[in-house]
Amino acid sequence: MIRTLVVDDDFRVSGIHAAYVAKVPGFEVVGQVSTVEAAEDAVRTLRPELLLLDVYLPDGTGLDLLRRLAAQPPDPSAPHAGRPDAIMITAARDMHSVREAMQLGAIGYLVKPFGFAAFEQRLVAYAELRQRMDALVGAEETDQADVDALFSAGRSAPLPTTPPKGHSAPTLALVRDAVRTARRDLSAAEVAELTGVSRATAQRYLSYLVREGMARLELRYGTTGRPEHRYRAA
């Protein structure tokens, strides 16, 4: 479970966001606070991994909080060394706030008002980013494809709620996850082996992922014959 702290000065909005978090699998709310000072204390005591952070707070801004957390010495015993990730959830639309949030390391920016679907999309994308990063733990170094995947994961589009005719949502998710968690390109046969579907089915779903921009097709040329189709997460 991804430990989430909601930081918003409006208790009704904070409650709505907490309820939204509870509806997204893999996330739990560990606290709700309304000020910069309370948020700083909560980060230290509750050790959240993700902040849902408003810009406008009674004793400062969410951006002030990010600056304070960045200035603190790392805590090796806490998640992310005591520096949780942050998704800004705010009515602040000015470019100064947006740009400063990016410079301070916020991984997302959701402008109020919004519905649950937009909220869920950001959390699902963050969970996928965490999954990719966890898969690379222990690796001595990453290649360019790994880096590209990490930088794009937080912005990745969710799978369609209703897949096209002839495709099932569970199989689509299975094939997509197989490609995303692999640290190399895969053939349709390898995806079929990983997922338990037939090679033809794997090929059909892989082609769909390529069309939707969720996978990248690469051609591997041998000495003779047709090039082999290989697939990698976009």
pLDDT tens-digit map of 54-65: 999 999 999 999
Read off the pLDDT band of 145 (50, 70, 90). Answer: low
Q: Looking at residue 187, what DSSP letter applies?
A: -
CB neighbourhood size of 47 (10 A): 17
The pTM of the full predicted model, rounded to 2 decimals, is 0.65
Instruction: Give residue 210's pLDDT.
Output: 87
Q: Is pLDDT at 78 greater than 60 in this prediction? A: yes
**Mean per-residue pLDDT of the chain:** 87
Residue 231: strand, helix, or coil? strand
Q: How far apart are CA 141 and CA 75, in angstroms?
A: 23
| Segment 162-171, tens digit of pLDDT | 667 788 878 8
Domains for the chain: give ranges and CATH numbers.
2-147 (3.40.50.2300), 169-233 (1.10.10.10)
Here the tokens at position 111 are: 């402008």
Average pLDDT over residues 11-18: 95
CB neighbourhood size of 161 (10 A): 7
Instruction: Show Cβ contacts of residue 187 under 8 Å, excluding neighbours closer than 6 positions.
Output: 228, 229, 230, 231
Q: Write out the H or E segment, with its range, that includes residue 218.
A: strand 215-220
Measure the CA angle with vertex 150, ends 148 and 151; round to 5°. 65
List of E strands, 8-143: 27-33, 50-53, 56-57, 60-61, 85-90, 108-111
